[in-house]
Amino acid sequence: MVPLHVDALLHATRAMTPVVRAHAARPASPISSHAFTVDGQAVQELVIDLRAPGIEAKPAIANNRLGTTASLAEIAAQNHAVAAINGTFFDAGGDNFPAGAIELNGAFVFNARGTLLGFGSNGQTTMLRAAEALSLDVDDPSSPTSAMWPWYLNRLSTNPMRVDVLTPYFGPETRDPSALVAQVVGGKVTAIHPGMTPIPSDGYDIELGAGEAKTPIATRVHVGDPAVLTDTVLALPSEKPVPFAAYPNAIGAGPMLVQNGRIDVEPSLEGLDEPDILNAETLRSVVGTDRAGHLVFLTIHEANVWQEASIAKALGLWDAMNLDGGSSVGLWYEGRYLTPPKRALATAIVVVER
């Protein structure tokens, strides 16, 4: 797909009409709320000063457990948040697991291609098209090979040849009775069990599917072996590693809408090619930053992703990405909904005051 820039707005989008401000909160507050009409569409906006003392934004998982849901207000309450917007895509009505990357407290808990928004500890943010590369090494002194080549991080799978990693966000235990599981705590394998196995609260499980458990890879795992799990952020489309340690919390969705102040919509680079996501004129939610570094939440009454990008650009966003849309769209601030979602959610982005 040819990139769309500010001087080549989508032909299906009418010329942008002036932004009409309907309300503004007190300017002294680190969070301000506004309502606009942009190109005939109602837009709700929150602007958050992440450099204000005590203000922090981060992703949140409903009930701190993947595969579960809660209302946006409940997720806000669980995190003592003052503001929240719906998060990434998820299998609503199915297993409720997310379809976008999530990093919490310096560790990824779910990997996926898309646009990734990282939150730094000092209020800084970064946004890029990215994927994550999971690696796992178990050091067997008797073998020259330590790589375990994991397939998944906290994903449901019954593939018998898989190697996956399951952390406490997956749940209290593994779910495959035919798998072989090695528990890791403190960087060492502490136990090996067949079947469903507890996931240590301060570690993770390495799960080998029934077929993989019969291969030589299983013989390279012993109690006491050192284990090292890493997750590397790769820029797309180059797939070059990107330093990400400065951003201990992150959430992925997409596609990218605005980059460096210019409309830049290329869903194919992110593996997003579903017409329902891209072309439907439906409720939309946006997260981004303006030129001054403020975090911005938007909900838009009706738009496709290109119209959504145009609106984000018109409102001054320097970088912006699409979040889950349709029935998931929700914006919550100071105890009430500015845009009420029509279903329970798996994830959100929350703003807390310390």
How many domains does the chain fold into? 2
263/124 same-domain check = yes
pLDDT tens across the length of the chain (354 residues): 333 333 333 333 334 544 544 444 444 689 999 999 998 999 999 999 999 999 999 999 999 999 999 999 999 999 999 999 999 999 998 999 999 999 999 999 999 999 999 999 999 999 999 999 999 999 988 888 788 999 999 999 999 999 999 999 999 999 999 999 999 999 999 999 999 999 999 999 999 999 999 999 999 999 999 999 999 999 999 999 999 999 999 999 999 999 999 999 999 999 888 887 788 899 999 999 999 999 999 999 999 999 999 999 999 999 999 999 999 999 999 999 999 999 999 999 999 998
Residue 233 lies in a domain: no
101/163 same-domain check = no
170/90 same-domain check = no
Give the predicted TM-score (pTM) of the model: 0.91
Residue 5 lies in a domain: no
120/245 same-domain check = yes
Residue 3 lies in a domain: no
From 225, 252, 275, give the residue that closes a domain: 225
Residue 2 lies in a domain: no
Beta 256-259 vs 262-263: how paired, if at all?
antiparallel
Domain range for 327:
20-129+240-353
- Residue carrying the six token digits 């100071």: 334
- Is the alpha carbon torsion for 232, 238, 243, 244 positive or negative? negative
275/298 same-domain check = yes
245/345 same-domain check = yes
Exposure string over 317-336, b if 16+ CB within 10 A, otherwise e: bbbbbbbbbbebbbbbbeee
From 202, 225, 248, give the residue that closes a domain: 225
328/247 same-domain check = yes
